[in-house]
């Protein structure tokens, strides 16, 4: 038995062995092994990915014969077409910011920005539950990093007070809505902390809030009126915006610095023009989708009212609602029961989440009807009684 076989067997015994699922999609539903299930495992938070009317409207606005399906090179060679400029200018306009810079994915953004802007004289203070892409970016940097306890601002403030003068730059890194717990950071408190020091930069990942929160759908920073206080505001197009890619809102100087220093931007083929055209089309319409955001919040509150009391100290405040089971085997069983009830929900296990917090992650979207939410609530209550 080789080392790979042994490790795979160990993962299987722990209930943590993963497989790539094969499915057929039909609108809001998926078909797997003959079972039709409502898809509550995607990040299509506004229900735009299967909005055929929106898609048809887009196709009327673009000449598909003249819209390339490949950029063929990096942005610094021949891949930086006019659509990049239009999209980045529009994002900067929406955020009332100096600049925006678009990337191929959220992973490219989070794994590339911090290594570019930090050095050995930098300190990164990152929330314990930041996304794996941020963790990888931290690992690629030369900065010292301390992971503070999740949303423990007293610990964070102590660390800043003790260490601020020992480093040229301090980067406080967090998410606005956390991808697995569905809870939120306290942005005003972080902004207040930043204002007390002249060497602090705030890095905020709004991946799960962009499109969903704020009057224009710009995220929690808009909702809490602190956009201008965030030095690196990262968002993604692959979730609520139903496209692909990511962006950072920053100053002109920081944008130029990233263009020259950020390896995940420099050494990758640019996004295809057809994707950029679709993204710009959707971004221009996000401001008008407040009714979808309101419906999403309404149905999310209904599900949270049922699930949060079952979860102990992990309390969601968003459309991402974990149903905590504890161990991985129990999470697998929970997912099976809910799938049998017609809901495509998947177990989330270590290392994605900490040991002892395996769960089913309920990811709601604005396309869910009230009847579907009624059935989901009933299914969760039935499942809870069986476990």
Chain centroid to CA 373: how far?
23
Q: Is 340 a catalytic residue?
A: no
**In the predicted structure, residue 1 carries a pLDDT above the cut 70:** no
For the chain, what percent of residues have pLDDT higher than 90? 84
What residues pair up with 127 in beta bridges, in sequence order?
A: 148
Q: One of 179, 243, 358, 365 is an active-site residue; which one?
A: 179
Domain ranges of the chain: 16-46+289-386, 57-286
Identify the band that residue 387 occupies on the pLDDT scale cut at 50, 70 and 90.
low
Strand order from edge to edge, sheet including 320-326: 320-326, 358-363, 347-348
Mean pLDDT of 192-205: 97
**pLDDT tens sequence across 290-307:** 999 999 999 999 999 999
Q: Which residue has the higher pLDDT, 294 or 14?
A: 294
Q: One of 42, 43, 74, 375 is an active-site residue; which one?
A: 43
**In the predicted structure, residue 282 carries a pLDDT above the cut 80:** yes
Q: One of 208, 255, 295, 319 is an active-site residue; which one?
A: 208
pTM, to two decimals: 0.94
**In the predicted structure, residue 386 carries a pLDDT above the cut 80:** no
To the nearest whole number, what is the mean pLDDT of the chain?
A: 95
Q: One of 50, 175, 183, 184 is an active-site residue; which one?
A: 175
Q: Is 131 a catalytic residue?
A: yes
Q: One of 50, 71, 122, 131 is an active-site residue; which one?
A: 131
Q: Which residue has the higher pLDDT, 221 or 383?
A: 221
Asked if residues 71 and 270 have their Cβ atoms less than 8 Å apart, the reply is yes
> Around Cβ 307, how many Cβ atoms within 10 Å?
25
* CATH code of the domain made up of 16-46+289-386: 3.90.1150.10
Q: Is 43 a catalytic residue?
A: yes
The CATH T-level fold of domain 57-286 is 3.40.640
Mean pLDDT of 117-142: 97
Q: Is 2 a catalytic residue?
A: no
Q: One of 205, 222, 223, 229 is an active-site residue; which one?
A: 205
Identify the band that residue 384 occupies on the pLDDT scale cut at 50, 70 and 90.
confident
**In the predicted structure, residue 267 carries a pLDDT above the cut 70:** yes
For the chain, what percent of residues have pLDDT higher than 70? 99
Asked if residues 330 and 387 have their Cβ atoms less than 8 Å apart, the reply is yes
């Amino acid at each position: 038995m080789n080392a790979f076989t042994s490790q795979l067997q160990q993962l299987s015994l722990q209930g943590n062995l993963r497989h790539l699922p094969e499915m057929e999609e039909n609108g809001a539903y998926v078909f797997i092994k003959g079972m039709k299930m409502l898809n509550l495992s995607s990040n299509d938070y506004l229900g735009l990915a299967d909005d055929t009317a929106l898609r048809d409207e887009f196709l009327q606005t673009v000449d598909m014969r003249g819209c390339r399906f490949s950029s063929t090179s990096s942005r610094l060679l021949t891949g930086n077409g006019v659509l990049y400029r239009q999209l980045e200018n529009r994002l900067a306009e929406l955020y009332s910011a100096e600049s925006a810079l678009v990337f191929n994915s959220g992973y490219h953004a989070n794994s590339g920005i911090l290594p570019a802007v930090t050095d050995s004289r930098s300190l990164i203070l990152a929330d314990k539950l930041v996304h794996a892409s941020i963790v990888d970016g931290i690992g690629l940097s030369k900065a010292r990093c301390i992971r503070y306890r999740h949303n423990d601002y007293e610990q964070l403030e102590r660390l800043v007070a003790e260490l601020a003068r020992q480093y040229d730059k301090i980067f406080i890194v967090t998410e606005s809505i956390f991808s697995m717990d569905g809870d939120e950071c306290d942005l005003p408190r972080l902004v207040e902390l930043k204002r007390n020091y002249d060497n602090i930069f705030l890095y905020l990942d709004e991946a799960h809030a962009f499109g969903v929160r704020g009057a224009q759908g710009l995220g929690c920073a808009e909702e809490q009126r602190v956009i201008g206080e965030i030095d690196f505001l990262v968002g993604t197009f692959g979730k609520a915006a139903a496209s692909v890619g990511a962006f950072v809102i920053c100053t002109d100087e920081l944008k130029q610095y990233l263009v020259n220093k950020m390896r995940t931007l420099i050494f990758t083929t640019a996004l295809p023009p057809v994707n950029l055209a679709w993204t710009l089309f959707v971004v221009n319409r996000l401001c008008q989708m407040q009714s979808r955001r309101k419906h999403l919040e309404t149905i999310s509150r209904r599900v949270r009212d049922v699930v949060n009391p079952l979860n102990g100290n992990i309390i969601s405040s968003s459309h991402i609602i974990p149903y905590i089971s504890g161990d991985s085997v129990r999470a697998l069983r929970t997912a099976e029961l809910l799938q049998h009830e017609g809901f495509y929900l998947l177990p989330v296990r270590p290392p994605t989440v900490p040991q002892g917090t395996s769960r089913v992650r309920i990811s709601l979207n604005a396309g869910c009807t009230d009847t579907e939410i009624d059935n989901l609530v009933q299914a969760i209550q039935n499942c809870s009684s069986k476990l």
